[in-house]
Amino acid sequence: MVYLDNNSTTKVDPLVFEAMEPFLRGDNFGNPSSIHTAGRIVRDAIEESRSKVSSLLNCSPSEIIFSSGGTESINSAISSFANTHGGNRVLISSVEHAAVDDFTTAKFDETAVVKVGVDENGQIDLDLLQNSLDENISLVSIIYAHNETGILSPVSEIVEICTPKGVLCHFDAVQAVGKIPINLSNLECDLISLSAHKFHGPKGAGALYIKDGLNWTPSQIGGGQERGKRAGTESVANILGLGKASELAALSLSENSKLLLSLRNRFEAKVTQEFESAVIVGSNVERLPNTSNICFDGYEAEALIPLLDQKGVCVSHGAACSSGSWGPPKALKEMAYADDLAKGSIRFSFSKFNSEKDIDLTIQALHESFTLLDSINN
Ligand code: PLP
């Protein structure tokens, strides 16, 4: 199998599994809130994981709380701050993941959610953002790196616009953390959501960075875990998996980035050389090194993806959570791609476990699929 769907989820690194295993079986089963030795061993391990996550982001361990994943981190950040600071509105972009978009739609009435669009390169309209920030907006929540296209948001500029106006800034960095450097001592945002399974950690594990000093209102209330910020007995093995994944990512961020970029460049060079129909999405702007979203003009992802799958190549059309929907991916619609072109969009997303051989096999599978589709259509 050639797995090129790493923005949906990644393979658990064997070293991550090794770090988790002793806390799933054996004697490390204590409740981290217990004051006896069995509890303290687990508590210490959790705190070590917190330090590893905070090192990856260059923030203080006290600014990290653990969660069940990206969705929970995002939902709780928005819930906590969308109604504070005197404002009662939240500003988001038109290309947010469902964890932001659908959540804000469900939670607030229509007038309380201000949406700012993106241009044809997927870049948020910063002038409109600036002009939309009035005293009613308490929180801005923007995707850091887009899950469908890999396009990066101008995060420093967004912070520079929000901070002087006293508006809090949350980034959904689920696709960015572990793939590109994020240094919170330089980026003065207030909240960052992340998810372990996007960088070789376990599913169902995430974290939220909450800048020290913010007045947090928890979504989960109960036993006072996570210093009262997120109640519920900790998912210990998952937290340790997230910690190990963070440690590994921090150790090899630049090396992995180079590898991913060279795989992506090789892939995109071959695709554009060999398939006239190929249009690379976001080729003029900064993108994640691992993501290549390509529209194959005149073809439909609905036909191509199952054929590639039959040949052992796993890719997707937009976000995994909207799998099964073959319409144009949301981001491409917002970037004003013609529906016909966007319907042929395929997201290829690489990881450190891919090789050049995977690229060559994918190119071959694309050739075979196009030949078959052409023979049916002609
Ligand atoms: N935000 C983005 C940009 C994502 O890509 C995803 C997952 O695909 C999420 C949020 C949700 O994260 P999780 O699957 O950990 O709940």
355: Cα separation from own chain's centroid: 22
Q: Could you state, in order of their start, the residue ranges of all structural domains in the chain?
A: 2-8+253-377, 14-249
Q: Under a CB-based contact definition with an 8 Å cutoff, are residues 339 and 283 in contact?
A: no
Query: Using one digit for the tens of pLDDT, what is the confidence trace for 281-340?
Result: 999 999 999 999 999 999 999 999 999 999 999 999 976 555 567 888 999 999 999 999
pLDDT at 82 > cutoff 90: no
What 3-state DSSP class applies to 274? helix
Give, using CA atoms, the residue closest to atom 10 of ligand 1: 70
Q: Is the pLDDT of residue 373 over 80?
A: yes
What pLDDT, on a 0 to 100 scale, did the predictor assign at position 84?
Answer: 65
pLDDT at 230: 97
Cα-to-centroid distance, 68 and ligand 1 (Å): 11
Centroid of ligand 1 to alpha carbon of 172 (angstroms): 8
Of ligand 1's listed atoms, the one at least distance from the Cα of 321 is 8
> Within 10 Å of residue 111's Cβ, how many Cβ atoms?
9
CA–CA separation, 357 and 280 (whole Å) = 21
- Pocket lined around ligand 1, Cβ cut-off 6 Å: 69-71, 74, 97, 99, 143, 147, 172, 174-175, 195, 206
Per-residue pLDDT of 241-261, as tens digits, reads 999 999 999 999 999 999 999
163, 188 Cβ separation under 8 angstroms: yes
Longest dimension (CA), the chain: 74
* pLDDT digits 0-9 by tens, 32-42: 999 999 999 99
What local confidence, expressed as pLDDT, does residue 170 receive? 98
Mean pLDDT of 190-219: 97
Q: Which residues are catalytic?
A: 321
pLDDT of 86 strictly over 60: no
Q: If you measure from the C-alpha of residue 374 to the centroid of ligand 1, how many angstroms do you get, rounded to a whole number?
A: 36
2-8+253-377 against 14-249: fold identical: no
Cα Rg, the chain, nearest whole Å: 21
Tens digit of each residue's pLDDT (9 = 90 or more) over 89-103: 999 999 999 999 999
Give percent above pLDDT 90 in the chain: 91
Between the CA of 173 and the centroid of ligand 1 the distance, in Å, is: 9
pLDDT one-digit tens code per residue, 12-29 = 999 999 999 999 998 899
CA of residue 195 to ligand 1 center, whole Å: 7
Question: pTM for this one?
Answer: 0.97
Give the CA distances from residue 216 to residues 104, 207, 229, 295, in Å, rounded to whole numbers and listed in that order: 18, 15, 7, 42
- According to the model, what pLDDT value does residue 87 have? 64
> What would the CATH number be for the domain defined by 14-249?
3.40.640.10
Give 378's pLDDT tier (boundaries 50, 70, 90): confident
Counting from 1 in the atom list of ligand 1, the atom nearest the Cα of 72 is: 16
Look at residue 26 in the predicted model and tell me its pLDDT.
81
Per-residue confidence (pLDDT) for residue 248, from 0 to 100: 98
What crossing angle do the helices spanning 236-251 and 37-57 adopt, rounded to 10°? 30
* Residue having the nearest C-alpha atom to atom 12 of ligand 1: 70
pLDDT digits (tens, 9 = 90+) for 106-138: 988 888 999 999 999 999 999 999 999 988 899
For residue 62 the two structure tokens come to: 């006290």
Tell which one of 174, 191, 323 to mutate to probe ligand 1, the residue whose CB is within 8 A of the most ligand atoms.
Answer: 174
- Which of 245, 203, 228, 268 has the alpha carbon at shortest distance from 65? 228
Per-residue pLDDT, 8: 97
Mean pLDDT of the chain: 95
Domain 2-8+253-377 has CATH 3.40.50.12780: no
